[in-house]
Structure 1
């Protein structure tokens, strides 16, 4: 018998012996072994991983698969700070079975947001979360070049001429809401901003972007459908896109009803040859042909309309909630804003797009709110090819994920003194919030800066930079001006709720308001 054959026989004998020993154990002992094996395997795997000098340091964890999900999910910025102190700006952690490589700070922004398209993919990272909500064939459920084309199609509704038309419509919607909603009855009262602001932002966005016909649908229970869709953006949806749960069923039903309704509107306009320049629906019907000659289907146009309306919903709802809550603790800033608005508008009540450009404190209040409360605390990409960490020998393997957190940098003392203090006047003296890199690039939806090495990136960067930045300032600015003109209010600032995909205030998130004297 050869040495190899003898070794094999010994291993087999040892295996049979171990198997016999296990069979002889009691049921309780067998259960303990089954439970312990994943933990043992996890610890051994982490030990072997830590011995490799070509891997990013991994945060130790005890619970298999779950990894560091609890500390990250509850307080991501605190978790990042603790890891940074131990490992530096670049480290990895396990999140629900996925290895996430984090690179904090401006160098991380550059590394991940400007990574080559072949090396990292937002589509692969997000499609299982976004496709059930937005639908097939749009946003992250299509090749990247199509997404860039879709941004170009949608950008026709995001021009200066459009914004000039939008401002009076936004103001009208806000006034209609605060003069009719039950939370604003009388001359004083209390309002839950987690109810009021999502409704105000979806009413104003639908009226401006999708037109009066779509806006009127929201008065017939349509808004509730969007709320059901909105609940599809949670951490559990990110990991498990389809589960037999009531919230998933409501999400899918809401998508089907909204998409079908938009398709009926599209087909109605097509049959009646009623395609003008009223709204984004008309714009997409007139121009949604890709550069390869294929046209978006009616279903895809309907799905893109859902994506456009919801794309800014989280951002504006969250940001307007936060600036109302912060200003509730700063009556002095409310009066300063009121006086600034009066100095520009005079005796006029109606604000215009041009007025918004001459209200620096209004814009800086929005800017400061976005600094303290970037709606998305983490931005993910899936690694498609082995990715080398700059100035190191460390490699992020294919199949892992990379994570960048501009919100962490924006609340860091290294970049912003008194970082946890809400102070819009910090922006009075222009800081270098942009990049020194003046190079620009056009990914298909218009020219943007290539530079992402700034610590201030509330709208992301690179090819996936949000195209709605100017719309957000127009919408939020008009909302803020209208509130300041109409109310005075107080509040107690709540803690941040990180349990959803958006950094929302914890309940109760209320302001106590009283109407200003006419």
Structure 2
């Protein structure tokens, strides 16, 4: 009996536990089914006619997060087709939050040019950005203080500064081409996204932050930047504090980068140290807020991190896309080289800021790439007061997340014929794909506290946003991208790998969209290629 008992007791325990597991599993399934049924009935029977329609979804909380996360533009246009009769406005569920999308130029105007008393960017982006940039800067401070910080940063974005950057950018590009393993020899292949990411961080750090910061960009510093960049994972809109591996790396990288910038600042504050340059750190060390207070060192470090990421992200993604588009359209690369020879001379002199103003096809290639591949697909705000939607009977309640997508607008056929075709000649008069009327920036200027900027919201082409949060680095990005393009055009011929015609898909897994990697193209150096 003792032996039998030894066998039966564990078996009885197993069956008892199994029964409990079955009950728990069954209860969980029943709860989920009930939640889905109630969620569907709520959508079908209790639609609020005073608010925009809600996109149908099966599972509560998850809502429409998956299709939006996989391809936001595809999701937007699918919803637009269903809800256009309601005024190009609809609401979807994003990780449990009702998010109202307003598309088209009117949607951009409604959200991006709304008064600060009615919409707020800080409450949307603070959780995501504060762990990356730091306390008391960008979205972790009152809007008035942010406007002052943007005014300080504009020191490095004057026309004189931009003019001086062209030589630096071209030299960095040629040095990189000469030293990078992927570009050794006369021909080869290269994975474009990581290659241009490294190049653009070199150019952004050198131009915007000075030679001292650039000199620290070795392999370890680049890894810190990469780890910090992981903080922009979409899950961090909801769980920025979660002890996830990428968040731990983010926090460690932030701390280390703050220490590096603080070390530079503290060294410069030592007695007897004289200013030997006019870089951004020196500028911020001399700046004071309107109340007379100097900028604390940790805020300078935070602004430098934000400046570096802003100067690198959009340019990295855009230049990667441009290289991939040129590999898919190699004849355009030859046309660009011919433009340089016709305008600048057959000997291809060193590129200057003035030269860039005389290369319209180069400018058009940059513009077209930004149109089709907007670096940021969604721009969000939080409604802080009820907002009636013009042309509809709807009102957006206070507390609702609002979403504009200028990148979707620039893919609409009513503004850009054949919108999914990358056509650098589209911007020329007489092109069948030329933008329709109204596709240029408006001239209305407004000062939000950091200098006059174009409101711009009447244009369907807004790759750098609009309103008070329009990117102040817009002109820098154009200069950086055109200079890099000019160097690559006179150095390389690109083409796709055999059987790999067409560009890769878009990776929307971060706040900043980019090409999926690997995205490999063939390159060949031009005969008698001339660098800077």
**TM-score normalised to the size of structure 2?**
0.89
Which residue does 1:413 correspond to in 2?
413
Question: Is 1:486 the equivalent of 2:491?
Answer: yes
Deviation at 1:274? Answer: 2.6
Which residue does 2:305 correspond to in 1?
306
Deviation at 1:441? Answer: 0.9
Within-5 A mapping of 1:253-268? 253-268=252-267
Residues of 1 paired with 2:298 and 2:40: CA distance?
49
SS at match of 2:524: strand
Residues of 1 paired with 2:525 and 2:202: CA distance?
22
Which residue does 1:161 correspond to in 2?
160
Deviation at 1:31? Answer: 3.5
Which residue does 2:95 correspond to in 1?
96
Indicate the larger mover: 367-376 or 446-455. Answer: 446-455
Deviation at 1:73? Answer: 1.1
Residues of 1 paired with 2:336 and 2:456: CA distance?
32
Deviation at 1:246? Answer: 1.6
**TM-score normalised to the size of structure 1?**
0.92
Which residue does 2:31 correspond to in 1?
34
SS at match of 1:381: strand
Residues of 2 paired with 1:66 and 1:507: CA distance?
27
Residues of 2 paired with 1:471 and 1:304: CA distance?
17
Which residue does 2:17 correspond to in 1?
none
Which residue does 1:433 correspond to in 2?
439
Residues of 1 paired with 2:327 and 2:132: CA distance?
34
Question: Is 1:404 the equivalent of 2:404?
Answer: yes
CA contact (8 A) 2:192 2:518 kept: no
Which residue does 2:507 correspond to in 1?
497
Which residue does 1:507 correspond to in 2?
517
Residues of 2 paired with 1:254 and 1:188: CA distance?
36
Residues of 2 paired with 1:410 and 1:514: CA distance?
33
Deviation at 1:277? Answer: 4.2
Which residue does 1:76 correspond to in 2?
72
**Which residue among 467, 471, 496 is the counterpart of 2:472?**
467
**In angstroms, what is the RMSD of aligned CA positions?**
1.8
Q: Provide closer, same or farther for how the CA distance between residues 35 and 176 of structure 1 changes in structure 2, counting only shifts above 3 A.
A: same
Within-5 A mapping of 1:341-360? 341-346=340-345, 347-360=347-360
SS at match of 1:482: helix
Residues of 1 paired with 2:136 and 2:185: CA distance?
47
Deviation at 1:120? Answer: 0.9
Which residue does 2:368 correspond to in 1?
368
Describe the superposition over 1:213-248 as per-residue Cα deviations: whole angstroms up to 9, x where unpaired.
Answer: 100100252111001111111211222112212211
Deviation at 1:44? Answer: 4.2
Residues of 2 paired with 1:81 and 1:28: CA distance?
39
Question: Is 1:516 the equivalent of 2:522?
Answer: no
Which residue does 2:201 correspond to in 1?
202
CA contact (8 A) 2:241 2:247 kept: yes
Residues of 1 paired with 2:463 and 2:197: CA distance?
19
Which residue does 2:58 correspond to in 1?
62
Residues of 1 paired with 2:255 and 2:242: CA distance?
17
Question: Is 1:381 the equivalent of 2:381?
Answer: yes
SS at match of 1:231: helix
SS at match of 2:179: coil
Deviation at 1:276? Answer: 4.9
Residue ranges of structure 2 left out of the alignment (5+ in a row): 1-21
Deviation at 1:48? Answer: 5.4
Residue ranges of structure 1 left out of the alignment (5+ in a row): 1-24
SS at match of 1:218: coil
CA contact (8 A) 1:207 1:215 kept: yes
Which residue does 1:9 correspond to in 2?
none
SS at match of 2:494: strand
Q: Provide closer, same or farther for how the CA distance between residues 154 and 263 of structure 1 changes in structure 2, counting only shifts above 3 A.
A: same
Deviation at 1:325? Answer: 0.4
Deviation at 1:27? Answer: 5.4
CA contact (8 A) 1:275 1:285 kept: no
CA contact (8 A) 2:156 2:208 kept: yes
Deviation at 1:454? Answer: 1.2
CA contact (8 A) 2:52 2:91 kept: yes
Deviation at 1:154? Answer: 0.3
Deviation at 1:131? Answer: 0.7
SS at match of 2:54: coil
Indicate the larger mover: 376-385 or 424-433. Answer: 424-433
CA contact (8 A) 1:275 1:286 kept: no
Residues of 1 paired with 2:382 and 2:415: CA distance?
28
Residues of 2 paired with 1:388 and 1:34: CA distance?
37
Which residue does 1:22 correspond to in 2?
none
SS at match of 1:217: coil
Which residue does 1:227 correspond to in 2?
226
Residues of 2 paired with 1:476 and 1:451: CA distance?
21
Q: Provide closer, same or farther for how the CA distance between residues 94 and 385 of structure 1 changes in structure 2, counting only shifts above 3 A.
A: same
Describe the superposition over 1:16-41 as per-residue Cα deviations: whole angstroms up to 9, x where unpaired.
Answer: xxxxxxxxx96565334333343244
Deviation at 1:498? Answer: 1.9
Deviation at 1:422? Answer: 0.9
Which residue does 1:17 correspond to in 2?
none
Describe the superposition over 1:458-486 as per-residue Cα deviations: whole angstroms up to 9, x where unpaired.
Answer: 11000000011110011111110110111
Deviation at 1:191? Answer: 0.7
**Which residue among 40, 43, 61 is the counterpart of 1:43?**
40
Residues of 2 paired with 1:154 and 1:212: CA distance?
17
Residues of 1 paired with 2:359 and 2:284: CA distance?
33
Residues of 2 paired with 1:196 and 1:269: CA distance?
33
Describe the superposition over 1:23-75 as per-residue Cα deviations: whole angstroms up to 9, x where unpaired.
Answer: xx96565334333343244234434551x221110011001100001111112
SS at match of 2:90: strand
Deviation at 1:500? Answer: 2.2
Which residue does 1:392 correspond to in 2?
392
Residues of 1 paired with 2:370 and 2:235: CA distance?
26
Question: Is 1:129 the equivalent of 2:120?
Answer: no
CA contact (8 A) 2:384 2:398 kept: yes
Describe the superposition over 1:105-156 as per-residue Cα deviations: whole angstroms up to 9, x where unpaired.
Answer: 0000110001110111111110111111111111111111111111100001
Question: Is 1:244 the equivalent of 2:243?
Answer: yes
